[in-house]
Amino acid sequence: IGTTEVLNIWDEKTSRFSRIGGNEGLPMRNITSLTIDDEKGFVYIGTTEGLILYRPSNKQHTWRYFAGPRYLPDDYIVGLSLNPSGSLDILHESQTTTLKPTKFTLSKKQAHFTNMLTERHRRTNLVSDFPNHDSDNDGLWTSLVLVSS
């Protein structure tokens, strides 16, 4: 059960609710929705400020927080729905987002980021002829002289 302050989780061993708040690691308050992946043992928590993935275990709790344009077009989450494929549908006030978990091998991950870096940051034939050598000149004193003039 989520509230504006804490997450209450039913513990079947003790037949009691355990309260999890900021002191216990809950990254954000104002919980708007919850869904549970029984197969993986995850609790997805929608808040007014993003999505939390909670992985409870015997002694250690793991939290992942997703917010901002990298993950969500809008941080305010209205509802959550877990699909049989393992993807998570996130309902915002004006649209729906789907997060799909993808497994990568290390070499596949390296190829993915190398391709992304090449597309976005490496510019063919736009490289200067500046000699690449170590120097202790960071331009600090030049900048100070120019600013003071």
Show pLDDT as tens, one digit a residue, over the chain (149 residues). Answer: 666 667 777 777 788 877 777 777 677 778 888 888 888 888 898 999 999 888 877 566 688 888 888 888 899 999 999 998 888 999 999 899 898 878 889 999 999 888 888 877 766 656 555 555 556 666 677 777 777 77
Token readout for 16 is: 């009691």
Burial class (CB in 10 A: 0-12, 13-18, 19+), 2: buried
Nearest to 24 by CA among 63, 64, 66: 63
Taking the C-alpha atoms of residue 82 and residue 87, their distance in angstroms, rounded to an integer, is 6
What pLDDT is stored for residue 79 in this prediction?
Answer: 93
Nearest to 56 by CA among 86, 30, 24, 79: 24
Which residues, at least 6 apart from 114, have a Cβ–Cβ distance to it below 8 Å? none
Distance from chain centroid for Cα 13: 32
